[in-house]
Structure 1
Amino acid sequence: MRILHTMLRVGDLDRSLDFYTSVLGMKLLRRQDYPEGKFTLAFIGYQDEANGAVLELTHNWGVTEYELGTAYGHIALAVDDAYKACDDIRARGGKVVREAGPMKHGSTVIAFVEDPDGYKIELIQRA
């Protein structure tokens, strides 16, 4: 077994696709409208689905926002340099909500950014 994808419901698919592709550098792998169900699925990632886990962005037509709830934590991305990643993300219009620095009670350098729907993405600097 392996993880295939994680699904996030988004209020504005084009805005979310722009964030994940332009700000975080992912690729749109496939997109499909389901008119009878009134939703669209878009799969994005850094590699194709056969070789790694991806994100599924689900847009339910007519729904513009969601409550994130208290169970959701974050998505984690490995980066070479968390400080530079924050600068690059900010320069591309992204929102950094926790600047790069050592994690509490540890030495791993992390940072957090937020997507347009408020989902948190952790950046973990490779050792």
Structure 2
Amino acid sequence: MQPSDARILRGAAIPTAGVGVGAVLIGLLAAGAKGAFAAALAAVVVIAFYSISALAVAWASKISSQTMMLAALASYVVKILAVMVLVTTMDGVSAWDTAVFGWTVVGLALTWIAAEFRVAMQRGRPYIDEPENVLDRSP
């Protein structure tokens, strides 16, 4: 993993974990112990899914930029589908508050995306590196 990839992963995981702690407290106030458990479970799910996705993209970036883009798109689709399946299959579960779980997943996913975007914008270097042997076709 490149240092820039590690910085993006840390820059997204730490704020998401912080918001996750806040979500656990809000879940506790809103729905008691079941709400706190649901928020904690949602935090674990979001951080795990997004971390695995970031690791997959970092691995693919070592191969080529096209592979990296394919890995990013594929991991996004798989991640969204997996969270959708998880939320719909756990709709009738009574061990935790499903509404708190669903809203926490949405909130933490948006937090991760915003934090990742913030770190990426602070890097100050372009996402696409132009090949060195490109012919200059300017008039």
What range describes the TM-score normalised by the shorter chain of this pair?
A: under 0.3
- The two structures have a TM-score, normalised by structure 2, of 0.25
- The two structures have a TM-score, normalised by structure 1, of 0.26
Query: Counting strand residues as a fraction of each chain, which structure ranks higher?
Result: 1
Q: Highest relative contact order (Cα 8 Å, sep 6+), 1 or 2?
A: 2
Q: Specify the structure having the higher radius of gyration (Cα).
A: 2
